Amino acid sequence: MYRIWPDPDPTPLDDAALTALYEHTGPGIRMNFVTSVDGAVEIEGRSAGLGNPADKLVFGLLRQYPDGLLVGAGTVRVEGYNAVRLDEQRRAWRSARGLDPYPRLIVISRRLDLDPTYKAFTEAPRRPVVLTSRTAPPDRVTALSAVADVLAHGDDQVDLGAAVADLRDRGIGTILSEGGPHLFGSLTAADLVDEVCLTVSPLLAGPGAGRITAGPPSGVRDLALAHVLCADDALLLRYVRP
């Protein structure tokens, strides 16, 4: 993997160089997605078919920085999320900066159709957070409260502004979101997206799949390009709030 913008440099980027390029100090929300060249968010229902070694490497690296790892219930259900794990080197990097060794998993869901026996909950190194709304089914709130802190904001959909402020008050200010599209759409609509890391995989997925964003239309927002990396025909783009 090497940098093609800014300051093109054919020297392969090692872990230290990548760590510096993706430093995320927050507070704020960074999104991470992978897409095909023709804009697909999944192949046969999952993101795995879009991935490549460089994307996997950056996917893992991005988990090193945040206080919280935010993901939509749809992605948890489809992708079979495991508990957040970081290797010893990444945990040491965090501890040296006064961070907890692990980010907390934060799952957002209005319906709470989430099994409390998911490994993402039962094997979590830190107690996860579930963000929901005040109309969530009470029996589901009770079931999930056994394995997570359940926080309710908003009457129907989660009031994302209030939820993010609450998380910040709880020490979760720097957030990485791994999607999916409906969560990205609602974060964009609430103007809460500060950064987008996007891998463009050298694939044509063909028609059928959705985009990386979904939901009702909202306003157009500008982004500024922070860097472009290249690896094996894939592009790794980092865009930030201007």
Ligand X SMILES: NC(=O)c1ccc[n+]([C@@H]2O[C@H](COP(=O)([O-])OP(=O)(O)OC[C@H]3O[C@@H](n4cnc5c(N)ncnc54)[C@H](OP(=O)(O)O)[C@@H]3O)[C@@H](O)[C@H]2O)c1
Give the integer Cα–Cα distance in Å for 118 and 111: 16
The strand order across the sheet containing 104-108 reads 2-5, 224-231, 234-240, 195-201, 28-36, 174-177, 68-72, 104-108, 129-132, 149-152
Q: Which stretch binds ligand X (CB under 6 A): 20-28, 33-41, 140-148, 164-172?
A: 33-41
- For residue 183, the minimal CB distance to ligand X (Å) is 4
Quote the least distance from Cβ 221 to ligand X, whole Å.
17
Please list every residue from 118 through 147 that binds ligand X, using CB under 6 A: none
The radius of gyration computed from the CA coordinates of the chain, to the nearest angstrom, equals: 18
50: which DSSP letter? G
d(CA 15, CA 239): 20
Residue with tokens 């790794």: 236
Binding mask 41-80 for ligand X (x = CB under 6 A): xx--xxx--x---------------------xxxx--xx-
For residues 13 and 107, which CB has a smaller minimum distance to ligand X in the complex? 107
Residues 102-121 that bind ligand X (CB under 6 A): 108-111, 113
- Please report, to the nearest 10 degrees, the dihedral formed by the alpha carbons of residues 129, 28, 80, 211 taken in order: 140
Minimum CB separation of residue 49 from ligand X in Å reads 9
- Residues lying near ligand X in the complex (CB under 6 A) are found at 33-35, 41-42, 45-47, 50, 72-75, 78-79, 108-111, 113, 157-158, 160, 178-183, 186, 212, 214
